[in-house]
A = this chain, B = another copy of it.
Amino acid sequence: MTEGWERTPDRLAATAGAMLAALRERRPLVQCLTNHVVVGLTANVLLALGAAPAMVDIPREAGAFAAAADGVLVNLGTPSAERREAMREAAAGAERAGTPWVLDPVAIGALPVRTALAGELLAHRPAAVRGNASEVLALAGGGPGGRGVDATASAEAARAAAVGLARGRAGVVAVSGPEDLVTDGRTTIRVANGDPMLTRITGGGCALGAVVAAALAVRGEMPALDAVAAAHAIYGVAAERAARGAAGPGSFAVGLVDALAGLSPGDAAADARMRAEAAVG
């Protein structure tokens, strides 16, 4: 894909299929430093996609492992002192080794310890940031953050903040919402897949952060923007399938893992709903 490549909806949808095929074939090793609420779901989501999760999150192990892993997720939920230290190690190790890493700034803004940490980690240049609108606004310095992991701001409200962050040091920035917004500061891809059920289970967004790390790990020549957007589309398509068969959020969470495992690249490409536009800051 060259700079002049035109991102039509059909071509974008095809990247979702290509990405899923790459995940299944290359089985990336994805290190996750994430919160204890969602860690089990996150590992199962990665396994369902063919990736190999490794929850290496203690000091003196996290940094070296990040250099060897194919991708790294740093998620700021329940950030104990020891895990914060491991996160610093992992982000630095990933940066040094060129391992793509993803920052998920859970609930920053109102909560001081993680807000300070997020700013510090940003200096290690994540390949991508994924959060809800409140979190992206807070990361950009433009908002007070949300109530816990609740998105109290809309994705649209965070658009300018996301573009500004992406033009700065934060790589690709993805804002989850009814329609996801993914931007590299020049182009914005909107992903209309997903289901409200994702907001009714714990970890619906956090696990997506791990999928983004896996996608960046295997993107090859695919631009990071397209890889992150494809991760959102794959995850959203699986969520749609899971929601159709669910009796409630409990069975939805189970079905999401089943759907991710059963999804074919053709399915992902057929159901992906993405469109590109020039990024407006």
Per-position binary interface string of chain A over residues 109-136, scored 1 when its CB falls under 8 Å from any chain B CB and 0 otherwise: 0111110000000000000000000000
Shortest Cβ gap from A112 to chain B (Å): 6
Q: Are B29 and A55 in contact (CB under 8 A)?
A: no
Q: Are A44 and B78 in contact (CB under 8 A)?
A: no
- A87 to B260 Cα, complex, angstroms: 36
CB-CB contacts below 8 Å: A161-183 with B: none
Copies in the complex: 3
Q: Are B44 and A249 in contact (CB under 8 A)?
A: yes
Residue A18 is within 8 A (CB to CB) of chain B in the complex: no
Known A-B contacts A200-B47, A253-B44; the reply to A113 vs B258 at CB < 8 A is: no
Residue A9 is within 8 A (CB to CB) of chain B in the complex: no
- A262 to B246 Cα, complex, angstroms: 12
Contact of A254 among B55, B110, B203, B254 (CB under 8 A): B254
Of the 9-residue stretches A34-42, A187-195, A213-221, which lies at the interface with chain B? A34-42
Per-position binary interface string of chain A over residues 91-124, scored 1 when its CB falls under 8 Å from any chain B CB and 0 otherwise: 0000000000000000100111110000000000
CB-CB contacts below 8 Å: A233-280 with B: 246-251, 253-262
Contact of A36 among B39, B64, B79, B111 (CB under 8 A): B39
Question: Which chain B residues lie closer than 8 Å to A262 at the CB level?
Answer: 247-248
Residue A222 is within 8 A (CB to CB) of chain B in the complex: no
- A41 to B44 Cα, complex, angstroms: 12
Q: Are A56 and B258 in contact (CB under 8 A)?
A: no
Per-position binary interface string of chain A over residues 8-43, scored 1 when its CB falls under 8 Å from any chain B CB and 0 otherwise: 000000000000000000000101000111111101
CB-CB contacts below 8 Å: A52-91 with B: 52-58, 60-61, 64-65, 68, 77-83
Question: Which chain B residues lie closer than 8 Å to A110 at the CB level?
Answer: 65, 68
- A38 to B36 Cα, complex, angstroms: 10
Known A-B contacts A37-B43, A258-B247; the reply to A55 vs B78 at CB < 8 A is: yes
- A258 to B200 Cα, complex, angstroms: 11
- A52 to B151 Cα, complex, angstroms: 11
Question: Which chain B residues lie closer than 8 Å to A208 at the CB level?
Answer: none
Q: Are B47 and A202 in contact (CB under 8 A)?
A: yes
Question: Which chain B residues lie closer than 8 Å to A81 at the CB level?
Answer: 58, 82
Question: Which chain B residues lie closer than 8 Å to A251 at the CB level?
Answer: 254-255, 258
Q: Are B254 and A48 in contact (CB under 8 A)?
A: no
Q: Are B52 and A150 in contact (CB under 8 A)?
A: yes
Interface residues of A (CB under 8 A from B): 29, 31, 35-41, 43-44, 47-48, 52-58, 60-61, 64-65, 68, 77-83, 107, 110-114, 147-150, 200-203, 246-251, 253-262
Given contacts A54-B107, A61-B114, 6 further A-B contacts (CB under 8 A): A37-B43, A40-B202, A55-B77, A55-B78, A61-B111, A248-B261
